Structure 1
């Protein structure tokens, strides 16, 4: 009897120990599950983006040269300033030109006096001819002299007009609104008409960006675009992380370049804040007109397996599953998935960095951050874009 009680007690103790051991093992297993961030995939309307590189060009650029030769007497601008059309920039020594104008004015006075005398003599000759007091030959000679005096006066007046223009051209003014560069030739130096480059001026209110689109892309994504439709584009300058400048297409060339198979296109950007400079390297983003809905996930959620791309999805019992995917356009730190995922799928946000397929995990639900990311190119305020056209 005593032996029987001892056996029962031992058996009961063993059951208790086994139960505690299993509970401890279960708790330990749960504690050792890898915690990972998971998120439900997004489904967004998106446009296909196309990126092109270019350099900005000013619509108007002037290499300023004098129209007359002379010596620079004064420089009337500060280098690098904004100038307006008609502003005085350089002044040449005008004394030689003033002298020419004064000489011609004096010659005109003399020519007018000679013309008045020739007219008087011609009238007198006409009266004498009626009375046959003068020969026809003498009358014609006086008439010819009158015509010569008239021609001499007209020539002198034309020379005076030219001399006055030359005098006016000694004041060299800005032909456009823009930003002026440095003075290439300084005060006291002689300049030659149509040869000496005094400085350069570039207009700054707008900037052009020319880029080439290959024929296949144009026909598949942009065939319905015209210059009149003002297709929106965005631009990123070197050193910037975002495409902060908005513009639109205002010119499409009239033919495909047969040598390159590309079409030349131009975008225009208003520079209200004077942040753009001619010659700057830039990247242009152009969105196709067609909008489609696609699955969006973080770029870091995508893994690479030889030539394949895959993501880890959360399956039953929180076990990770391997899914092949095909990737589409990139939108900031996010990526469109064209096949392999569906709405409602839950993915490992950080990809296969610390986990793999078939592993049970401890999921931590997070949301995919889309702040500051444009999936479609929003319509621009066309009134503000074309206000300075």
Structure 2
């Protein structure tokens, strides 16, 4: 239901009571036609929206950490610069890890040699057993030695693989494209998994904007005439100085639960950010509205009259002024949305209302004011 200023409501109520004073109907029968201006009721496309405070969030955020312990040899970026996925950012001193890899490779060759010797010993024991020159116990012992040697080869191969992985971790590369923050560690320091975050990368395009919507407003946005599904909502962004952002966002997520501390539902929109104007963590004003306008009846607020029963307008019926009770919704500029009480084609009186009485004959002319528009 539309809300009006208390002073305006009192004036409108007094006008309404005066218009319906006793004896006015009888006087109206003998009065000459009143010259009035009318507008024809039509459906107007409107795009209702509600404004909230939202926060810009990067779609992807990565905290970079060292995965091996060593001295930081090189920092390969400037704080705050854009980076691409795969760019080298840090290099940890690789020499100790190269040595560990060489040691593991040597152990692998040693294990392979022992495995080859065990294979030969097993083959010899089996040949001797066939000629009865050897024993089954000896053959079984050689078989066990061969299996042990094969196991040692697998362990050595795994150690080589682990050493190669550790050596690869000495180069820290960007896992995503985006904007890199300030480095927390400079070269020459020891870094490692337990030494904290080196720096952070946030993606830039697209961005997310999250909006906490009160439970009451959320129900309004999801009502039948507003939004049937989240896919119908658009998010229009304005910066703190009031300037608009040129790219609208689209709602892609509505939280499944209500935040108990704030009694709000979090909604999120995806917003293009090709020029980098949106910054992670930024507070903005967000208007949630329908992407596709809906058609509603609009009337000028000046045509409304209030009395103790609510709001009504005058319409022309058979050449006379008639009262039509209306149910109102939101204000759109200088007009108001009418939910019920009027139909398309009705002639509402918007000029000459002050002298009207119900049932008074009227001489209707097109009003000089413009047809009400949305916004």
- With normalisation by structure 1, the TM-score equals 0.65
- SS of corresponding position for 2:269: strand
Aligned to 2:76: 76
Larger radius of gyration: 1
Is residue 49–residue 329 contact of structure 1 (8 Å, CA) maintained in 2?
no
- SS of corresponding position for 2:200: strand
Aligned to 1:292: 296
Aligned-pair CA distance for 1:116: 0.8
- SS of corresponding position for 2:53: strand
Q: Is there any run of 5+ residues in structure 2 with no aligned partner, and where?
A: 1-37, 303-327, 339-347, 353-367
- SS of corresponding position for 2:48: strand
Distance across 2 between alignment mates of 1:119 and 1:137: 16
Aligned to 1:362: none
Aligned to 1:246: 248
Aligned to 1:222: 222
RMSD: 3.2
Q: Is there any run of 5+ residues in structure 1 with no aligned partner, and where?
A: 1-39, 299-325, 347-365, 377-389
* Deviations 1:21-63, CA, capped at 9 Å, x for gaps: xxxxxxxxxxxxxxxxxxx99x964332201111111111111
Quickly say closer, same or farther: Cα 1:92–1:290, change in 2 above 3 A.
Answer: same
Aligned to 1:264: 266
How many pairs were matched up? 281
* Deviations 1:222-250, CA, capped at 9 Å, x for gaps: 244434x2522201122233354411111
Aligned-pair CA distance for 1:337: 4.4
* Deviations 1:202-222, CA, capped at 9 Å, x for gaps: 000111112233333333332
- SS of corresponding position for 2:271: strand
* Deviations 1:132-170, CA, capped at 9 Å, x for gaps: 212222221111111111111110100100110000010
Could you tell which deviates more after superposition, 230-239 or 70-79? Answer: 230-239
Is residue 230–residue 250 contact of structure 1 (8 Å, CA) maintained in 2?
no
Aligned-pair CA distance for 1:81: 1.3
Aligned to 1:212: 212
With CA pairs under 8 Å and 6+ residues apart, which has the higher RCO, 1 or 2? 2
Aligned to 1:203: 203
Distance across 2 between alignment mates of 1:102 and 1:129: 41
Aligned to 1:139: 139
Is residue 327–residue 335 contact of structure 1 (8 Å, CA) maintained in 2?
no
- SS of corresponding position for 2:85: coil
Aligned to 2:99: 99
Distance across 1 between alignment mates of 2:329 and 2:222: 22
Distance across 1 between alignment mates of 2:254 and 2:170: 41
Is residue 53–residue 281 contact of structure 1 (8 Å, CA) maintained in 2?
yes
- With normalisation by structure 2, the TM-score equals 0.67
Distance across 1 between alignment mates of 2:185 and 2:351: 70
Aligned to 2:128: 128
